[in-house]
Structure 1
Amino acid sequence: MNAVRQLKKEFPEHAILADMKIADTGAFEVEMAAKAGADIVMLLGNADDSTVQDAVRSARKYGVRLMADLIIVEDPVKRAQELEKMGVDYINMHAGIDQQMTGKDPTPLLERIIQAVDIPVAAAGGLDAVTSAQAVKAGASIVIVGGNITQSDNVTESARKIRESVDATEIPDFKRQTLEQETRRLFSEVSTPNITDAMHRKGAMKNIRSMVDGKKMVGTAVTVQTFEGDWAKTVEAIETAGKGDVIVIYNGSPHIAPWGGLATLSCLNKGIAGIVIDGAVRDIDEIRKIGLPVFATTNVPNAGDPKGFGEINATINCGSQVVNPGDYIIGDDNGVVVVQKERAYEIARRAKEVEKNEKRLYEEIKRGSTLSEVLKLKKWEKM
């Protein structure tokens, strides 16, 4: 409540919304927020009716308004109508952070709620300058923006862009990318450390490094299981792979290469995104001139023979990570990470949040803080 008091003191002419997410003791928490200076108090839309009704009575007593948050409500349209009848002043259509990570588009539901009630409807959940404008276009009276301002390295500029977008007289049509397009875009914008952080420090291939410095690789796996020095299946996989794929090879030896310059050039012509080898490569000078991202354990001069043993597009183990065909493979100068295809979009979104947070931390450290101070390590150490 001290935060509410401070905001009201600094901005007495502005409406202050206290996002209490009240689930119980409705009257008590509304009173607490109102006395601290809140003008609008948020309660959970799935709170019991008795809690909502008591919160409404308290709001009328103390002269504040109520907003109901529909996060995780099973039937948001029906519940919005019930909340309106009970006296709630605003409805908040809120897509939770974990829901956002799975790629659910809340716009159709927002439009249905707006049509179902006569009170103002707010939109919240992952909104940025573009999606805030789209929410207004859909009929939202209020947009609530969190992480895209608070986690920005320049909060003023981020807030200004959002303000300008919702005030624009003409809001352009926004064509959303497919999940695959958006997944690839997000992975291309973040680092492999961002991704492993988003996966709770998992997914990194062991002992595999970039053979071509400064190259970023994002693509879906075409897997190859082969044997020491047998390069037949690795080359045949070039015919199987398509544009934007990554060929992922388990070779079984750091001493005999199943891959070299000619195979790399063939991949470049097909638009293949890169190569990952649990094993060695050769022709490293040619590979670096070609410039295609290639990741391996080492480089050696000698190759084996095309015997034809092995399999294409089977589940393999590469760098101590299980890789299935279609999994996302991301590589940069830090190394290579594998992300299960079923969770690729979610992990890409979570990695983007990690990146935003790190940019904010960089700015705070530049202003003179230490990393320990910024992260409040001593406060959060396990006692």
Structure 2
Amino acid sequence: MTSIATPDICDAYPEIAVCDPVFINFGGIEAFFGPVRTVKCFEDNSLVKEAVTEPGEGAVLIVDAGGSTRCAMLGDMLAEQAAGNGWAGVVMYGCVRDIDVLAETDLGIQALGAHPRRSEKRGEGIRDIPVTFAGVTFTPGQWVYADNNGILVAEEKLKL
């Protein structure tokens, strides 16, 4: 994967959308990018589990978990599946768990925080729709760029 630096991208593309600075980097890959795929769910990670079992093809899974800090929506097993299935990363507007293992996983992971409790599994949620959080709307087909400096959203793949 090409090395990226979001400050350099912001300099080259001053109009690019920038997420509010609310995310923490938990993954073994600190800088990642790819086309956007989305899941919207709340305290139920059934559709996250479904998505990471599918071929990621270098995409970034954007999960609008409603900003919940009452449970984790991604843990070590799902992160390892995502990495093994070719996902570039996960941006979780919610929490993750098993963070020591996540830090060793070959996947970019940004989330609001860590929580030890797992989510429910009721099969609720929706996929592949525009989701809005942290001051930005993510639409499938856009591109996301993330590193320790922040998360950016572009309408198309950028020339870096």
TM-score by length of 2: 0.88
Q: Deviations over 1:146-172 (max 9, x none)?
A: xxxxxxxxxxxxxxxxxxxxxxxxxxx
The percent of aligned pairs where both chains have the same amino acid is 25
Q: CA deviation at 1:240?
A: 4.4
Question: Which structure 2 residues correspond to residues 114-263 of structure 1 after superposition, within 5 A?
Answer: 188-200=2-14, 202-206=16-20, 207-212=22-27, 215-227=30-42, 229-252=43-66, 253-263=68-78
The whole-number CA distance in structure 2 between the counterparts of 1:256 and 1:321 is 23
Q: Deviations over 1:34-59 (max 9, x none)?
A: xxxxxxxxxxxxxxxxxxxxxxxxxx
Q: Deviations over 1:89-109 (max 9, x none)?
A: xxxxxxxxxxxxxxxxxxxxx
Higher relative contact order (CA 8 A, sep 6+): 2
Alignment check: 8 A CA contact 2:39 2:129 kept: yes
Gaps of 5+ in 1: 1-184, 353-383
**Alignment CA distance shift 1:212-1:311 (3 Å):** same
Residue 311 of structure 1 pairs with residue 126 of structure 2? yes
The whole-number CA distance in structure 2 between the counterparts of 1:315 and 1:330 is 17
1:274 corresponds in structure 2 to 89
Select the structure of larger CA radius of gyration.
Answer: 1
Alignment check: 8 A CA contact 1:222 1:237 kept: no
Counting matched residue pairs gives 158
Alignment check: 8 A CA contact 2:62 2:92 kept: yes
Higher helix proportion: 1
- What is the identity, as a one-letter code, of the residue corresponding to 1:197? D
Q: Secondary structure at the match of 1:326?
A: coil
Q: Secondary structure at the match of 1:258?
A: strand
TM-score by length of 1: 0.39
Q: Secondary structure at the match of 1:247?
A: strand
Q: CA deviation at 1:189?
A: 3.9
The whole-number CA distance in structure 2 between the counterparts of 1:275 and 1:282 is 13
Q: Pick from 143, 150, 153: which aligns with 1:335?
A: 150
Alignment check: 8 A CA contact 2:53 2:82 kept: no
Question: Which structure 2 residues correspond to residues 282-321 of structure 1 after superposition, within 5 A?
Answer: 282-321=97-136
Gaps of 5+ in 2: none
Alignment check: 8 A CA contact 1:224 1:234 kept: yes
CA RMSD of aligned residues (A): 1.9
Q: CA deviation at 1:201?
A: 5.5
**Alignment CA distance shift 1:221-1:231 (3 Å):** same
